[in-house]
Chain A
Amino acid sequence: MEALGLLLHGFHVLLTFKILSLMMVGLVLGIFVGVLPGLGGPNGVAILLPLTFTMDPTSAIVMLSCIYWGALFGGAITSILFNIPGEAWSVATTFDGYPMAQQGRAAEALTAAFTSSFIGSLVAVLLITFLAPGIASFALRFGPPEFFAVYFLTFCSFVGLGKEEKHKTLISMSLGLLIAGIGMDTVSAQLRMTFGWSELYRGVNFLVAVIGLFGISEILLTMEERLALRGHAARISLRVVFKVWREMPRYWMTLLRSSAIGCWLGITPGGAIAASFMGYNLAKRFSKDKEGFGKGRIEGVFAPETAAHASGTAALLPMLALGIPGSGTAAILLGGLMVWGLNPGPLLFVEHKDFVWGLIASMYLGNVVGLVIVLSTVPIFAAVLRVPFAAIAPMIVVSCAVGAYAIQNAMFDIWLMLGFGVIGYVFKKIGIPLAPFTLALVLGNRAEDSFRLSMIGAGGDMSVFWSNGLVGSITTLALVLLFWPLIAAGWGRLTGSPAKA
C-alpha cells in the first residue's frame, strides 16, 4: 500500500507546531464564517485567502481547507438552533434539526449533525487517499486533446445536468470564459478585449471576481431579509454525545447511503446542495417511519449532513488529481494554488508530494479536531449571532476589500470587486447560476490553451478529439451530457413513458 506510506509522510509534514496552530485558527475562523449570516464556505475562503499569501503552500492550503471544514460544521449550528440555514446545503438539516431543538433535544441534534458530517467527510477522504493518486498517474499520460476533452466534459455536464434553465447556465458559463480571456493572450502574447484600458492588460483576476460575486453580493442579499431571529441556546454534555454515538450504528445504512451519494455528487458537479436533499429524501423513502420525518427524527439530521460533508470533501478529488474543481470552494482553492506558484493538475502528485499528502493528512486531522472544537464550543458560536448585523456587514465589506486589494496590490481590483458584487446580486435574483461562472473563470485560460495546443499539434484538424479511444470517449460523453435533456426526452417518447426532463 503505497498510499499509506505517503499518508504517513503527510502526517509527518503536518505535525509541526506552526501548522497545527494554523489549523486551529483556520477551523475557528471557518466555524465563525459558517455561523455568520451573509458569509459562507466559498466567500469565507475567498476573503481569508490573502492571509496565506506570504505562507508556504503547505501551511496555506492546510489553513484554507480547515476554514472550509469549519464552515461546513458551522452551517449546522444555525440550521438547528435558529432554523436559519447558514449555507444552502444546510437547508435539509433544518427539516428535522429545528424540530428537535424545539423539543429540547438541541444538543442531540447538534451532536448528530457534527458526528455525521465527520463520518461523511471521512468516507470521502478515504476515497481521495486511495483513488486520487491512481487517477493522477493515469492523467499523466494525457496530452492537450485529452485535457481539453476533460474540460469540455466538465462544462457540458454543467449545462446538461444542471437544474437551472439551460440558457442561463450557458450565459453564466460563456460570460465566465470570456472574462477569463480578457488581457494578454498566453499563446500569441497579443492583447485582447482590453479596449486600451491599461488596468485590464493583466486580465480580470479570478479571486477578485469571486470575492465580489460571493462576498459583496451576499451582503446585499442578506440586507433584504428580515434579520430578526429566535432560537435556542444549547450546551452539549458528554452524556448526550455518548448517547447519540451509541444510537448511531443503528443507522449505518442511512450513513452509508448518504456518504455514497455525497461522494458521487461531489466529484461530478452536482454539489453539496443537491447531495443533502437527495440524502434526506432517500432516507425518508427507505424509512419505516415516513410520518416521523420533519417532526424531529434524528435520521433526518444524519442523512443530509453526511451527504453534504461527503460531497464537499469529495469535490477536492478532481481538483487534486486533474486540476478541475468539483465545487465553487474547490475552484477558489485552485485559484489559491496558482497564487502560491503551484501548477494544478496531475503533476502535483509527482512534483509536490509534501503539499498533496500534507493536505490529505490535514483532511483527516482537521475533521477530528474540528469535531472536538464544535462539540465543545457551541454556546460561544451560537452567541455570535447576538452581534447585530449592522456591525458585521461593514466588517465583511472591509475584509472583502482587503482581500481584493491584496491579490495584486491594485486599487482597480477593489472597484472590480464592487462591480462583480452587483453582477452577483442581480444574477442570483434572476436565477443565473454562479457556479458555472466561477468554474469557467478559473478554468478558462487553461481550457483555451489546451484547445489551441491540440489544434497546433493536429494542424487545425478537429478530428484530433476523436483520434484515440480515450479522448474520443470523453468527447462523446461530453456531447451526450450536453444534449442529455433532449436525449432523455427522445428516449421517453420512444418508450412511450412521459419524459421527466
Chain B
Amino acid sequence: MPEANNEIVVDDPQAPADDSPALAGDRKVEIVTSLLLLAFAALMAFDNWRIGMGWAPDGPRAGYFPFYLSVILGAASLYGLVACLVRRAREDKTFVTRDQFRRVLQVFVPTCLFCLATQWLGIYVASLLLVAGFMRFVGRIAWWKSLLTSCVFTLAMFITFDVAFDVIMPKGPLEALFGH
C-alpha cells in the first residue's frame, strides 16, 4: 500500500543523552520521601491528638479517624524506610540523570514563574508570556511562530472561558485597561 511509505518523522535534537551521569538513585529518593512522609504523619497525628482523637459521648471525635490514618501512614512509611535501608545499594536504579533533570527543570521553572506571573498580571498575560517564551527559548522555535501561536492560543482561551462559558479567571492590569 502506498501509505506505508508516507512516514511522519519528528526529531528531538535536545533529547537527554542515554549515557548522562545519574544525579540520584531510586534508593536515595525513596529514603527522603519516606522521611518526609513520616514527618507529615507525625505532624498530622499531633494535630489530631490536639483536637481530640478519642470518643465523645455521641461517637468518635473529629480527630479520631485522621489520627489512626496518620498512624497507618507513619507505619507504612517506616516500613518503606527500613526496607530501603536494608536493600543493597548495588541494586539501585537511576532515579534521574543529569540531562533528564535539566529538561525537567526547563519546564518546571517556567511553570513556577508562570504561576507567579498569574498572581500579578492575570492568567491571560501570563499564558501569553509562557507559551511564547517556552517555544522560543526551550523549543528554539522561530520568534514569529512562537508569538503567533501564543497569541492565538491565549485569545482562544479568553474567548472560551471568559466570553463563551463565563468562567472567571484571575486578571491583571492589562484587562483592567480594557475595562474587564
Contact partners of B64 in chain A: CB under 8 A: 452
Structural contact, A192 and B169, CB atoms closer than 8 A: no
The answer to whether B95 and A185 touch across the interface, beta carbons within 8 angstroms, is no
Report if A187 contacts B (CB, 8 A): yes
Number of A-B contacts (CB under 8 A): 230
Bound form: Cα–Cα A178–B141 in Å? 44
Which B residue's beta carbon lies closest to that of A430? B30
**Could you say which interface size class chain B belongs to?**
35 or more
Q: Mark B40-78, 1 if CB is under 8 A from A, else 0.
A: 110010011001000100111111111001101100110
Q: Which of A175, A216, A231, A382 has the most CB of B within 10 A?
A: A175
Given A187-B62, A220-B104, A224-B104, decide whether A460 and B114 contact each other with a Cβ distance below 8 A.
no
Q: Tell me if B9 and A229 are in contact (CB < 8 A).
A: yes
Q: How far is the CB of A410 from chain B (nearest CB, A)?
A: 10
Question: B residues within 8 Å of A by Cβ?
Answer: 1, 3-4, 6-12, 15-16, 26, 29-30, 33, 37, 40-41, 44, 47-48, 51, 55, 58-66, 69-70, 72-73, 76-77, 79-80, 83, 95-96, 100, 103-104, 106-108, 110-112, 114-115, 118-119, 123, 127, 130-131, 133-135, 138-141, 149-150, 153, 157, 160-161, 165-170
The interface residues of chain A, by DSSP majority, are classed as helix
**Which residue of chain A has its CB nearest to the CB of B71?**
A174
Give min CB distance, A160 to chain B, whole Å.
15
Shortest C-beta distance, A46 to chain B (Å), equals 15
B72 lies within 8 A of A174 (CB): yes
Cβ B4 vs Cβ A104 within 8 A: yes
Contact A231 B80 (CB under 8 A): no
The residue that B107 contacts in the complex, of A188, A386, A388, A393, with Cβ under 8 A, is A393
> Which residues from A are CB-within-8-Å of B115?
401, 414-415, 418
Residue A302, interface by CB 8 Å: no
Given contacts A171-B37, A393-B134, A429-B96, contact A181 B4 (CB under 8 A): no
Measured CB to CB, the closest approach of chain A to B134, in angstroms, equals: 4
A192 with B79: CB separation less than 8 A = no
User: Are B112 and A429 touching (Cβ within 8 A)?
Assistant: no
Give CA–CA (A227, B16) in the complex, Å.
9
Residues on A with C-beta less than 8 A from B166 are 54
Q: Which of A232-240, A346-354, A473-481 contacts B (4 or more CB under 8 A)?
A: A232-240
CA distance A54 to B44 in the complex (A): 36
Q: Is the CB of A188 within 8 A of B61?
A: yes
